[in-house]
Structure formats: C-alpha cells, structure tokens
Amino acid sequence: MFAEFSYFRPMDEYDVKWVLSTEKASYDFPWSPQGFTKAMDDGLAYILCDVDDRKLGYACFLAVLDEIHLLNLCVAPDFRQQGIAGDALRKFKDYFLDSDYEKMLLEVRVSNPAKVLYEKHGFIEDGIRKGYYPLKNTHDKEDAVLMSCLLAESA
C-alpha cells in the first residue's frame, strides 16, 4: 500500500491499541504498554501520518540534557520500503535541532538492516554494547551498535 509521510503528531491514548498491534507485528520482543505510556507522559512519543491522517508508524524518544535518544522508530508493515523512516528521521532531526538539542543517539541490533538507513542520515558508530538484545528461542544475546548524529551538522 503506497503512502507518503507528511507530518508527525503527539501520540495519545487513542493511538495505543494501534501502536501495540503494530509493535507486536514488527518485533520479536515488543515494548509493553507501559513503555509507550511513559514516552507519552514525557511528551516524546509521536505518530507518523500521511496527508490523509493515516497512521504510518510511530517514534519514541528520551531527552537527556542536550541529547535526544531515539528509542523506537517503527513503520507499519504495509508502509515499509517507501522512504517513510528516512523522511521521518529528517523531520525529527530538524524538529529537535530547533528545540535546542545538539545530538541524537540510538542503538540498533547489529543484524538490523536499519543501520544502513541511520548511516545514510548522518549517524556514526560510537561503539558496541555487548549482549544488549535478547534473541528469540535462545538464551543468547545480540550486540547493539551505539550510534549518534550531531544535529547541527546534519541539518
């Protein structure tokens, strides 16, 4: 299904059911409802929308001093591979730069193809967090790649 990302808006309690369903369809280890409630309470949870107000995905952040940490960026399965995540990243980076944040941080599974997307949008690898993510059907853990982007340099 084709869609074009147009804007983001604050996530609210009416979005949670859709967000949880999308999260479960997207990840082996989905966030709990409490994780989204906390992000909403902090005012850093957003819904990605198209011009017709269709929900395309969501993003959650954590603010720490002059840094903004991308905790979760997810595009709904029906709307993937259309550039929505990249467009959203650009708009969020501009938004947070205008809000006086200097740096955006994230961590991503070493196996996650989104790492290439982040690099394309100015994120650099800062290090590895060993055994950060659980793996399905095993007691093993997967490493996380720590990445960051100076917002002023990527504007």
Strands 141-150 and 103-109: antiparallel
Q: Which of 95, 118, 132, 142 is the catalytic position?
A: 118
Q: Taking a C-beta distance cutoff of 8 angstroms, is the pair 143, 110 a contact?
A: yes
Cα distances from 11 to residues 57, 80, 98, in angstroms, run 11, 20, 20
Q: Bridge-partner residues for 147, per DSSP? A: 106, 125
Concerning whether 67 is annotated as a catalytic residue, the answer is no
Q: Whose structure tokens read 């996530």? A: 11
Q: How far is CA 37 from the centre of its chain?
A: 16
Concerning whether 118 is annotated as a catalytic residue, the answer is yes
Radius of gyration of the chain (CA): 15
SS3 96: helix
Give the C-alpha separation, 74 to 94, whole Å.
19
Q: Which of 107, 119, 125, 132 is the catalytic position?
A: 107
Q: Among all residues, which ones are annotated catalytic?
A: 107, 118
